[in-house]
Amino acid sequence: MKSSLDEKLVEKYPMLFKHRYGNMITTAMCWGFECGDGWYDLLDKLCQCITEHAISHGLDVTAVQVKEKYGSLRFYMFGADDTIDEMVDRAEILSAYICEVCGKPGEMGGTGWYSVRCDEHA
């Protein structure tokens, strides 16, 4: 993800990404968001829902890693409850239908290295 979008998420959700610039020994967030720009809106909405739920339930939720794996989103964190886990599961499923490059509807494809692409970016 380009740095301007990375910074936007970190600024918007400081509780969730408090370790964004942490040491690689303690967090994989030091590498940033390891996915394409097309998932920005999905991540933004997910982070908003996680943050609102965490605040209303007194949870200290921290992202440890956000990346693409096997073509879809992976969002790892500490401090989540079952509701947040369900939110993440839904976002990971949705990511398999969103072009990682531009955010338009896409399809999973590839041989050996899977990715989700729209017709334009296939």
The alpha carbon of residue 28 and the mean position of all alpha carbons in its chain are separated, in whole angstroms, by: 13
Structure-block tokens of residue 72: 């879809």
For the chain, 122 residues long, give each residue's pLDDT as a single digit of tens: 999 999 999 999 999 999 999 999 999 999 999 999 999 999 999 999 999 999 999 999 999 999 999 999 999 999 999 999 999 999 999 999 999 999 999 999 988 899 999 999 99
Structure-block tokens of residue 39: 């998932």
Condensed to tens digits (0 to 9), the pLDDT of residues 27-52 reads 999 999 999 999 999 999 999 999 99
Structure-block tokens of residue 10: 């970190």
Amino acid at 30: C
For the chain, domain boundaries: 3-96
Confidence (pLDDT) at 112: 84
Give the pairing of strands 72-78 and 62-69: antiparallel
Residues 36 and 68 sit within 8 Å (Cβ to Cβ):
yes
Distances, alpha carbon 89 to alpha carbons 3, 46, 83, in Å: 25, 10, 10
Residue recorded with tokens 């899977």: 114
Confidence (pLDDT) at 111: 84
